[in-house]
């Protein structure tokens, strides 16, 4: 069994075998999940991608200005580059200035890296791109040995929002441990805003986000022969404006039993029992300052879109 499948199996056994039930959102992203997320990014209600794109398009000069003190050369390291559509805006500005840099996208998927590399090299023939296949921290630990050039680490798309505050602190502490004194981190954070705007982004009237979350169950059906009937679940979204936490659930409409033959599992659901599938943490300046302080970093600059919905924070090691 493949490693990713083994991890998924462990998550199913643990998450559906306990109470309350939960499944990690990272397992939504198979081929079908990726396609659904591309549709989500095109929804009018899902503002995040457009907001960060606007920031890069309108403020790329200011963002790259902040990198000038790095001197003769640096490595631009991106954690989870995706299709590179937003990053290419920054790459274009860096190349236009004839700055000395290398682009190092990190991803667990070699297929994703190959596609990204082919696309970017076709557009930027002079780009030096060094794809790094593996987990974030395995690669970053290797990079600790590369001390001749400072690093600019990109963690965009509000991916930090998939972590609750204690997990985010742990994640950033690990990042801080592999950062040198001149290294920088550009961190994309969705901001707290009118609660209904947040709810609509994760529970759209067309039902795309519902299908996205239900893909977890469909994937278990496809890969392990389960008999989940997704129509027996409703998709439910909550948002706590105090903590800034949006949570997604699949809620059973009635009592029933699900069989997962390939895992030799039977899972019982009571009426209105839930499966927690995803969190999307929203930030404000005070929260980000606190988390940065807890991880040995400080805010050097921030860049926001015209509506104040989203911010990219530039974090540095205190001087």
If phi > 0 it is left, if psi is from -120 to 50 it is alpha, else beta; for residue 29 that is beta
Average pLDDT over residues 91-115: 88
Q: Are 74 and 185 in contact (CB under 8 A)?
A: no
For residue 218, report the phi and psi dihedrals to the nearest 5 degrees: -65, -35
Average pLDDT over residues 100-118: 85
Torsion over CA: 163, 188, 212, 37 (sign): negative
Banded model confidence at residue 277, pLDDT cuts 50, 70, 90: very high
CA distance 112 to 109: 5
CA distance 177 to 19: 35
Between residues 64 and 1, which one has the greater pLDDT?
64
CA distance 6 to 4: 5
298-304 and 310-316: which strand pairing?
A: antiparallel
Report whether pLDDT(111) > 80. no
For the record, the structure tokens of 108 come out as 């667990």
Report whether pLDDT(136) > 80. no
Average pLDDT over residues 239-267: 97
Report whether pLDDT(137) > 80. no
Report whether pLDDT(4) > 60. no
pLDDT > 70: percent of the chain: 97
Mean pLDDT over the full length of the chain: 92
User: Could you tell me the end-to-end alpha-carbon distance of the chain, in angstroms, rounded to an integer?
Assistant: 48
Residue 2's pLDDT is what?
41
What does the DSSP 8-state code read for residue 199?
Answer: H
If phi > 0 it is left, if psi is from -120 to 50 it is alpha, else beta; for residue 264 that is left
CA distance 210 to 204: 8
For the record, the structure tokens of 101 come out as 């840099």
Report whether pLDDT(57) > 80. yes
Banded model confidence at residue 3, pLDDT cuts 50, 70, 90: very low
Q: Are 113 and 131 in contact (CB under 8 A)?
A: yes
- Tally Cβ neighbours within 10 Å of residue 301: 15
Residue 184's pLDDT is what?
95
CA distance 213 to 218: 9
Q: Are 91 and 103 in contact (CB under 8 A)?
A: yes
Average pLDDT over residues 11-22: 96
Whether the pTM exceeds 0.85: the reply is yes
């Amino acid at each position: 069994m493949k490693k990713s499948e083994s991890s998924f199996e462990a998550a199913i056994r643990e998450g559906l075998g306990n109470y309350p039930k939960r499944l990690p959102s990272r397992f939504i992203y198979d081929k079908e999940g990726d396609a659904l997320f591309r549709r989500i990014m095109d929804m009018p209600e899902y503002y995040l991608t457009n907001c960060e794109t606007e920031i890069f398009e309108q403020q790329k000069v200011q963002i790259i200005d902040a990198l000038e003190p790095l001197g003769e050369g640096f490595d631009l390291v991106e954690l989870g580059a995706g299709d590179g559509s937003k990053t290419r805006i920054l790459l274009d500005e860096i190349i236009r200035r004839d700055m000395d840099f290398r682009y190092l996208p990190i991803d667990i998927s070699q297929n994703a890296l190959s596609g990204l590399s082919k696309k970017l090299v076709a557009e930027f023939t002079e780009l030096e791109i060094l794809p790094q296949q593996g987990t974030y921290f395995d690669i970053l630990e290797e990079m600790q040995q590369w001390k001749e050039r400072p690093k600019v680490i990109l963690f965009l798309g509000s991916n930090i929002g998939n972590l609750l505050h204690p997990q985010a602190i742990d994640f950033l502490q690990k990042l801080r441990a592999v950062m040198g004194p001149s290294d920088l981190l550009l961190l994309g954070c969705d901001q707290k805003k009118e609660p209904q705007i947040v709810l609509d982004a994760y529970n759209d009237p067309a039902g795309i986000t519902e299908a996205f979350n239900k893909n977890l169950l469909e994937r278990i059906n496809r890969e392990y022969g389960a008999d989940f009937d997704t129509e027996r679940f409703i998709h439910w979204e909550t948002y706590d404006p105090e903590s800034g936490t949006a949570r997604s659930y699949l809620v059973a409409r009635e009592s029933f039993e699900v069989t997962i033959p390939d895992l030799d599992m039977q899972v019982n659901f009571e009426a209105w029992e839930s499966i927690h599938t995803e969190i999307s943490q929203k930030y404000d300046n005070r929260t980000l300052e606190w988390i940065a302080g807890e991880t040995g970093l400080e805010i050097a600059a921030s860049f926001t879109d015209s509506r104040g919905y989203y911010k990219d924070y530039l974090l540095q090691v205190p001087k």
